[in-house]
Amino acid sequence: MKRTGISLLWGIVFTLNIFLFVACSDDDKDPTNSWNELSGTYQEKMLNPKLNNRILIVEGKSVDVQVTSADKATLTLFHFIPDFTTVAFDVDLKLTDGQYTISGEFIENGVTLIVNGFFDKYGILNIDLTRKMNLPVTGNWRLNFHTGDSGSSADVYVAVQTANPALDDVINMVAGPAVGQLIAGKVSMVNISLGEDGFFNVSWRKQGENEDTYLPEYIMQMLNIQYTMVDDQLMLAVDRNLITLAEFVVPLLDLGIRVEDVITSLSYLGGYYAIPFNLKEDGGHMTFYLSKEVVIPVIDLLIPFLVSSLPENLTPLVESLLGLLPTAEKLDVGLVFQKN
């Protein structure tokens, strides 16, 4: 029995030695031979993406990696940025401290995308994208105000065309100045930023105050509103996952808003939904305006708030005018800005 026990003990030790030897051999395996194992599609738990140091929602995004040699690979990004549904470009592959890193650059139509990343020991692709914009709209824009006989007014653009030319003349002549005066009564300045990093921001200064007001940082971080240009339109885009979330949350809040109606007015950009703004440049001023397809859903949302803020004697007139707008052949509404 004693010899049998000793033999069993030595057998266990011998087996463990073999296991440890094999394990150590795997750990010490020459990493330069593993580059051809990196090819594949990275998504969900195998993907950790960032854009300009902001965490991206990984759902719906993926990266296809095709390694062509020990120092070269081709990356295809799906649904990462609103500018392009897919982005494919070559990157450098390098072995650094036992990890393979990637780096490369993509440039097209005023959009530069710089990629840096690495494959960690769990096989997860950590990818950090830096997006730089050089578009005609890139920069800081200030809402234009002008002063007339009736006081200060924001520069509001309204163009309506219905089956009643006389009514069109009245709306086009009155609506812009009236809304402009309402805006000027609330704020003395409005700035929008279309940054070089591709993100949108807005600030305003209330009448009688000396400091600008911004949307809360946590809201901007959550929304991560990006901008791009598609077919000569400015697109303000949010991740489609946020719209999906809104479809679930908004009905629970009982706000009377049908998210489906809002979605139909948006442009679908693969991984993003966007509000499309038309642009009109004139003498150093840029008009950012929405067309009928977008304006009508917005008006439907705002009617209760607009009507409740009007004097009682104007309410019937405004309600009747708003009721005519859905039948209009043309309905453009926007604001006029100057570039800082």
Residues 55-78 have pLDDT tens digits of: 999 999 999 999 999 999 999 999
Q: What is the pLDDT of residue 102?
A: 97
Query: What contacts 78, CB < 8 A, 6 or more positions away?
Result: 61, 62, 63, 64, 85, 86, 270, 271
Q: Which two tokens stand for residue 148?
A: 């007339």
Q: What is the pLDDT of residue 8?
A: 41
- Distance of alpha carbon 127 from alpha carbon 88, whole angstroms: 14
Q: What is the pLDDT of residue 334?
A: 96
Residues 11-24 have pLDDT tens digits of: 443 443 443 333 44
Question: What distance separates the 2 farthest-apart alpha carbons in the chain?
Answer: 113
Residue segments in the chain with a per-residue pLDDT below the cut of 50? 1-32
Q: What is the pLDDT of residue 326?
A: 81
Q: What is the pLDDT of residue 260?
A: 80
Query: What contacts 7, CB < 8 A, 6 or more positions away?
Result: none
Q: What is the pLDDT of residue 9?
A: 40
Q: What is the pLDDT of residue 281?
A: 93
Predicted TM-score (pTM) of this structure = 0.84
Cβ neighbour number for residue 19 with a 10 Å cutoff: 10
Helices (H), 53-207: 165-186
Q: What is the pLDDT of residue 237?
A: 98
Q: Which two tokens stand for residue 205?
A: 């200064």
Contact between residue 239 and residue 246 where contact means Cβ atoms under 8 Å apart? no
Q: What is the pLDDT of residue 314?
A: 64
